[in-house]
Copies of this chain bind each other. A is one copy, B any other.
Amino acid sequence: MTSLLISREDLRFQLYDWLGVEALLQAPRFAAHSREMFDAVIDSCERLAADVFAPCNQAADRQEPQFDGERVAVLPQVAQAVRAFADSGLLAATQDDAVGGMQLPVVIEKAALAGLYAANIGACAYPALTIGNASLLLAHGSPAQIEAFALPQLRGEWTGTMCLSEPQAGSSLSDITTRAEFECDSQLGPQYRLAGRKMWISGGEHEILGNIVHLVLAKVPDADGKLPPGTRGISLFIVPRSLPRADGGAGERNDVSLAGLNHKLGYRAAVNCALNFGEGRHTPGGRAGAIGYLVGRPGAGLACMFHLMNEARIGVGLGAAALGCTAYLHALDYARNRPQGRLPGPAGKDPTQPQVPLVAHADVRRMLLAQKCYAEGGLGLVLYCAKLVDEARIAREAGDAATALERERLLDILTPIAKSWPAQWCLAGNDLAIQVHGGYGYTRDYKVEQFWRDNRLNAIHEGAHGIQGIDLLGRKVAMDESAAFDAYCALLESEIARGRASIHTDWADALATRLARLRDVTAKLLAVPDPVARLANATPYLEAFGHVTVAWVWLGQALALGTRDDDFAQGKRQAARWFMQWELPRVDAWLDRLADNDDTALAMRDAWF
């Protein structure tokens, strides 16, 4: 709390009282751990966040990465922060002991990362992508590929990226044109030469660690030299910045070069760039063309990449929530310490009395309560998703396929929510944090404006907001005969039943009403025959779904308080009340329009604008 990053008291409550993560300790996978060890990991991340990541957050924003024609220079303190993270062993936190990991639950890893994200979200892009990259390779790479590319990342020697978008293909991956031509078989898998341009590559070029492992989507031409159309023609390749030497170190430069840095609104600690593959700047093995090693089957690239993308989407939600948390704590700190004005009414009209702190004004408490709802609600949603990853794995390892499937389905359906809801609402919270600061919040002397700018990216990258809506309504709620949606409804209904048996009957009823409407609306939308019309309001659907889901988070947290009536519990309860009274009712207007699938946007014509 003193570092104003993440409230440890809240984190403790969410993990142990609400999510009950100690139950995970009963699984063989986590048997060597304890609550004390979980806390120690979170402690050590908190120190790293406060001592190394936070101090350079503003400096990294003001001095973004520069390219001098030869090298990309990252602020030295950012490079040090990334190296400190790499040295901590946290890159392999959730991996098996066998690959040098700590075999920690994902939910604990995410809880620990929250403080780092809050401290310097841009600097966290490097380790976050490295973790995801290595994790994809562990799942889909050959043993030789794991040895050569995943383990150096997990050991903190190399970093990783994901290269999906191209300048002409962002949301529409089926239109990528990066070409991969088969060259030969190799120890590291089928070897190709890649040529093409990739865009928005975070961590794409720098010299913070010894090498960069790019995971690249590309298409293999058919016999006529044509690229196969659509996403089914996409394959996945490992394209290292430098080719691995026989001894495992980074050797000859591959034909990957910087096309240009992107100059962003925020997230500036993270290099983000366009990369050219195979333009001939380097000639590995004596000729132009970026050497890449096929991962998995040809044409299965997107499926493999979704492994990383789904992790990244949870990570985006976590980052957005972390920024919501830290901005909230900064606003709260300011509101408690800044005297301004007096209360309305006769008592407040006496200007000889000292001014009251901002927090004494109901409107400021309103802004703080809303922020608390967004930040802690968003964090709770993401941590719940992380726990689902752990529970699915435990169940699968215990041979309980049914439970594993149910947990995986819940994760599937909640991923677009966990990605989009914190990005939207914690940004709204950051906006309120600026407002609480008044004119000072609009200056760069305070931190909240940077949180707001940084957080704005989260509704864009790793699948833009609208794409999440299409994923939810166009895929997730319908798949497997609505099995995931049914699991979701069952989850909420069980909490509603618990709520009805508690003092919070009214909140349980309020949630039940909206869940029933969401179920009705979902059935109606899925019955719309024309897919264009069916998905026309996918974004408002996503947003309504999100608010219902976070109402469930808040109901659950209120129930987890039991009869506690200390300050923390009262605050939590009041935030839950705020969500139920002021936030959840927002969905009614959206659900009304969704119920008859209002066609205002659909019917609008280009020429009419």
Contacts and interface: CB of A to CB of B under 8 A. Distances in A.
Nearest to A356: B172
A435 B460 contact: yes
A196 interface: no
Given A200-B439, A351-B229, A581-B598, A608 B570 contact: yes
B460 A441 contact: yes
Contact of A460 (B438, B453, B606): B438
Contacts of A570: 605, 608
A571 B608 CA distance: 4
A186 interface: no
Contacts of A210: none
A474 B363 CA distance: 13
Contacts of A29: none
B340 A172 contact: yes
Contact of A592 (B365, B585, B593): B585
Interface residues of A, number: 106
A264 B442 contact: yes
A532 to B, nearest CB: 5
A328 to B, nearest CB: 9
- Report whether over half of chain A's contact residues are helix, strand or loop; otherwise say mixed: helix
A171 B438 contact: yes
A603 interface: yes
A604 B351 contact: no
A604 B369 contact: yes
Contacts of A461: 439
B474 A355 contact: no
B170 A439 contact: yes
Given A449-B265, A589-B585, A363 B577 contact: no
Interface stretch (A301-309, A400-408, A463-471, A492-500): A463-471
Please give me the 9 A-B residue pairs with the lowest Cβ-Cβ distance, nearest first: A571-B608, A345-B531, A229-B351, A172-B341, A585-B589, A366-B601, A362-B536, A230-B351, A344-B531
5 contacts: A172-B355, A199-B439, A344-B470, A357-B606, A366-B536
Interface of A: 165, 168-172, 174-175, 199-200, 229-231, 262-266, 332, 336, 339-346, 348-352, 355, 357, 359-366, 368-369, 372, 431, 434-435, 438-439, 441-445, 449, 452-453, 456-457, 459-461, 464-466, 469-470, 474, 530-532, 534-540, 567-568, 570-571, 574, 577-578, 581-582, 585-586, 588-589, 592-593, 598, 600-609
